[in-house]
Structure 1
Amino acid sequence: MSDLSQIVKAYDVRGTVPDQWDERTAEALGAAFAQLLNGSDEPGDAVAIGYDMRGTSPGLAAAFAAGVRAEGRSVIEIGLASTDMLYFAAGSLNLPGAMFTASHNPARYNGIKMCRAGARPIGQDSGLAEIRDRAQALLDKDEPRPAGEPTRAVERRDMLPEYAAYLRELVDLSQIRPLKVVVDAGNGMAGHTVPSVLGDAVLSTLPLEIVPLYFELDGNFPNHEANPLDPANLVDLQRAVVKHGADIGLAFDGDADRCFVVDERGEPVSPSAITALVAARELGKYPGATVIHGLITSRAVPEIIREHGGEPVVARVGHSFIKAEMARTNAVFGGEHSAHYYFRDFWFADTGMLAAMHTLAALGEQSLPLSVLAGEYERYVASGEINSTVTDQAATMSDVRGAYPDAVADDLDGLTLRFPDGAWFNLRASNTEPLLRLNVEAPTRDRMISLRDEVLDRVRR
């Protein structure tokens, strides 16, 4: 019997298949999702469903669709898709949607990201807990669910050409200088979408030479994990950029909703710098607009937003918080340290591809190398995220707070302490593991290292 409390997380469903969940679980979740929609004012009577390259994804998606159809809703199956392509379908068709993916997790995992019509997010506080409880009730019944056989239609629709065309309308890359671009798809869904958006299908119109790495779709991830947040998974891209004399390298995660950037030297460009760069471009198009930034992005981000006439607003880490704040403020753009980038022009949803296109445009519209261009947006020294296994998270955080009585404290998301010299750190607990996550930033490298080591020593005692 599936215990859905183990796999229904704060923002999505995620767990190992088949031991934590299987196609029967997926069918119950599909029925529960449809029940939630049927009790609301969602437009239309269909659900868009997409899936990634994992071997279990097609079967789980089909079972979910059966549950949806049994509850009286039809299905638009978009097939293989990146997560942002599913958001495009939900936004452009104004329908709720479900994407089957475990993003960057290993092959034995799978998951579901669900949204309402217009790509509006569904999290624990906006319907996911209700879906969990409804599905658990269906699974707990001894007899089969009495909703009957699925009777509503399934329409198969290829959204990739429309998705690619829409992105190319938002960012025109046809007039930039020629660029050589190495793209590491990590055997994930970028191998499906990049050729249509940037590569083979449009080479006649875009001055881009794409050097592909691991474009073959393979949910077993034979080359490296599709998680560019881990520096070990960027090594192949970094080497390839230098080897090919490329102008830029792009790395996508498994479902291609996040994009990481490497400069011409093979050095990573921080997501904070990309957030500031894209914010400046969007503010050029929408003067005076609001821009959301995650709590853990560099303090250079709000500085640069203000310098370009925008209004920075900070939000908690996590896509449901960012999207909610964007909708509340009608923000034009949002970015966070995990390389999730959100756009008002994309239904407030996150898309790694659109962020990549903005970066290519910024690079190609001027003559400087990316290392110099990105340097304009890198003002401070950051540690990156450091995880520590901690049994009593609350006690440890209280101890750390007490060690710095003169710092200014902020409890928006975990514990943030700010110091008079501009240094700061954030310490927050993981939602799913016995971990504390530390991020440190300071005006100089020596100060960052000193503060980082002080805090880690206290956390790991």
Structure 2
Amino acid sequence: MESSGVAFGTSGARGLVSAMTDEVCSAYTHAFMSTMRRQGFDFKQVAIAIDLRPSSPRIADACANLLRKLGIDVIFCGAIPTPALALFSQQLQIPGLMVTGSHIPFDRNGLKFYRPNGEISKADEAMMLSCDVPLCPKQAPSAGLPVEDLSAKLGYMQRYKDLLGRQSLLGLRLALYQHSSVGRDLMLQLFTDLGAEVICLERSDTFVPIDTEAVSERDVKRGLQWARNYQVDAIVSTDGDGDRPLLSDEKGRWLRGDIVGLMTARALNIPHLAVPVSCNSAIETSGFFQTVLRTRIGSPYVISGMEALQQQGASQVAGFEANGGFLLGSYLADFPALKPLPTRDALLPVIVLLAQIRLQNKPLSTMVSDLPSRFTASDRVQDFPSNKSLALIAHWTSNPEQIIEIFKLNDQITKLDSTDGLRVSLTSERVLHLRPSGNAPEFRCYVEASSQKDAYQFLSHVMLQLADCI
């Protein structure tokens, strides 16, 4: 595990497909099982699911083969969204293992691990990495993955049919950007069952790495064109493993993930939130929430934040990330049938906001315009080693005056926040946030401004200067 190049990031262990050998995948799986047992969990089954990457079936087979060697039965849930596996694991009170690289390129993949009571923590990760597990001897070819069990898929769909009722999307006309999202067929069936008319677009047989925090210029243009061509109420998609939503308004303009989260939390009447430091400051300035706890970036930190709020007495708690993934930490007074699901989920915010179009009799663009005028944008420098990113962040944290010089900012710094990376607040009320990705060799840049045009212009300016300095 140490020498493979496969390592834990903000959510799960990831690495190059070439590094994720059967031996490495077996070692991670064995360490996960050992960690669960050291914590007192007694189980005879483990649920496994995959995304649509070409390497995922082989990796799942290696994990399943190891589990069978340990005397553990495998429930293979097929190609389903990560939150569907998490929900299934939670309902059966068994561990879950998801083979996915989420939004990162197809030459990489990963493993996400779920305890019987939710997503693993950073402490669990440390315990796994400290495990000494025996190497399995060379084995005969695997018998293959078990026959697919549809229970996880059907249970996940039923969760959202029960939330607002079978006709909650009646009359809506939606475009479904399918690409290689693992939930593309599930979403088509669900939206149709809920009464919507659905137009399917751009289904792909090759893997497409959709990043909901850095929507490509091609997809920005596509969204606008699709809205003009098809006259839809919204365009819906997700990232590869279905835990981060991609949602546009009726004009084809993609909504930022933290705005999706803000609107969802408001619609569900959730008073207490845990959100990463990178999220839009409109969350606080909107005045919709009693508590907003800022955390480091990554679902384990948001989950820890939700747990901290509950320990302080908060009874209705949720969280979301800038990528739009929504985490439900508790039961809700107004929606008692909706069970907590403390892991990133794309469908909850999508279903809630689509239903709001009908409930409020307003288009999504109007709902967004009712929010405080704070706008964000983000981008990334790819194939940039994390150690170099970390060195730059450390240098600029110690020498903040160089930020003004290097990025050619006609501004002054009012606040520095090193909760995760370096977040710089400026006198112009703009914000610049730089950090290494926790999942891939990428340097991420987030900006915030008082208009969307200013945010895009500021981001373009910063990325140009960043390219020159690195």
RMSD: 3.2
Q: 1:396/1:88 Cα in 2 relative to 1: closer, same or farther (>3 Å)?
A: same
The one-letter code of the counterpart of 2:377 is S
Distance change >3 Å, CA 403–CA 249, structure 1 → 2: closer
Confirm or deny that 1:127 pairs with 2:113.
Answer: no
1:279, CA displacement in angstroms?
A: 1.4
Q: Does 1:332 align with 2:314?
A: no
Q: Write the letter of the residue equivalent to 1:157.
A: D
TM-score, normalisation: structure 1: 0.84
When residues 227 and 91 of structure 1 are mapped into structure 2, their CA distance, relative to the original with a 3 A threshold, is same
Deviation at 1:351, TM superposition (A): 0.8
Residues 33 and 131 of structure 1 are in contact (CA less than 8 Å); yes or no, is this contact kept in structure 2? yes
Structure 2 counterpart of 1:209, one-letter code: E
Q: Please give the residue correspondences for 1:410-425 in structure 2 after superposition, counting only pairs within 5 Å.
A: 410-420=417-427, 422-425=429-432
Which runs of 4 or more aligned residues in structure 1 lie more than 6 Å from their structure 2 counterparts after TM superposition?
148-151
Structure 2 equivalent of residue 157 of structure 1: 149
Match of 1:273 among 231, 234, 259: 259
Structure 1 pair 149–429 and aligned structure 2 pair: CA distance change class (3 A): closer
Q: CA-to-partner distance for each residue in 1:184-211, whole Å, 9 max, x for gaps?
A: 1212212232133223xx2xxx331111
Q: Which residue of 2 aligns with 1:89?
A: 88
Distance in 1 (CA, whole Å) between partners of 2:455 and 2:242 is: 32
Matched, 1:303 2:285: yes
The whole-number CA distance in structure 2 between the counterparts of 1:431 and 1:351 is 19
Listed as ranges, the matches of 1:47-58 within 5 Å are 47-58=46-57
Instruction: Note if 1:318 corresponds to 2:298.
Output: yes
- The separation in 2 between residues aligned to 1:32 and 1:279, in whole angstroms, is 36
Structure 1 match to 2:369: 375
Alpha-carbon distance change, 325 to 47 in structure 1, aligned in 2, over 3 angstroms: same
The Cα of 1:401 is off from its aligned counterpart by 5.2
**Would the alpha carbon gap of residues 149 and 411 (structure 1) be closer, same or farther in structure 2, given more than 3 Å must change?**
same
1:11 partner amino acid: S
2:356 counterpart of 1:362: yes
Segment of structure 1 superposing worse, 4-13 or 37-46:
4-13
Other-structure match for 1:9 = 9
Structure 1 residue 53 displacement after superposition? 2.0
1:179 paired with 2:176, answer: no
Tell me, in whole angstroms, the C-alpha distance in 1 between the residues paired with 2:401 and 2:462.
10
**Equivalent residue letter for 2:187:** V
Equivalent residue for 2:246?
Answer: 260
Given residue 378 of structure 2, which amino acid in structure 1 is its aligned partner? G
- Displacement of 1:173 in angstroms is 5.9
For 1:320-377, what per-residue CA distance to the aligned partner results, in whole angstroms no more than 9, with x for missing partners? 1112212222453212212222123442121101111011011121222221122122
Pair 1:227-2:227 in alignment: no
Q: What residue in structure 2 maps to residue 211 of structure 1?
A: 199
**Deviation per residue, 1:88-117 (Å, 9 max, x gap):** 111211221100111123333221111111
CA contact (8 A) 2:423 2:431 kept: yes
1:351 to 342, 345, 353: 345
Please tell me whether the aligned partners of residues 413 and 425 of structure 2 are also in contact (alpha carbons under 8 angstroms): no
Q: Match of 2:188? A: 195
Match of 1:293 among 252, 256, 275: 275
In 1, distance between residues paired with 2:33 and 2:456?
51
1:247 aligns with 2:241: no
Look up the SS of the partner of 1:426 in the other structure: strand
CA shift in 2, pair 1:315/1:76, >3 Å: same
Contact 1:34 1:71 in 2 (8 A): no
Instruction: Give unmatched runs, 5+ long, in structure 1.
Output: none
Give the distance between the partners of 1:177 and 1:273, measured in 2 at CA. Answer: 24
Q: Is the 8 A contact 1:172 1:361 kept in 2?
A: no
Q: Decide whether the 8 Å contact of 1:82 with 1:256 is kept in 2.
A: yes
Distance 2:298 2:113 in 1: 15
1:409 aligns with 2:416: yes
Matched residue type, 1:126: A
Q: Deviations over 1:45-92 (max 9, x none)?
A: 321111122232223212212212322332222122111111111121
Partner SS, residue 19 of structure 2: coil
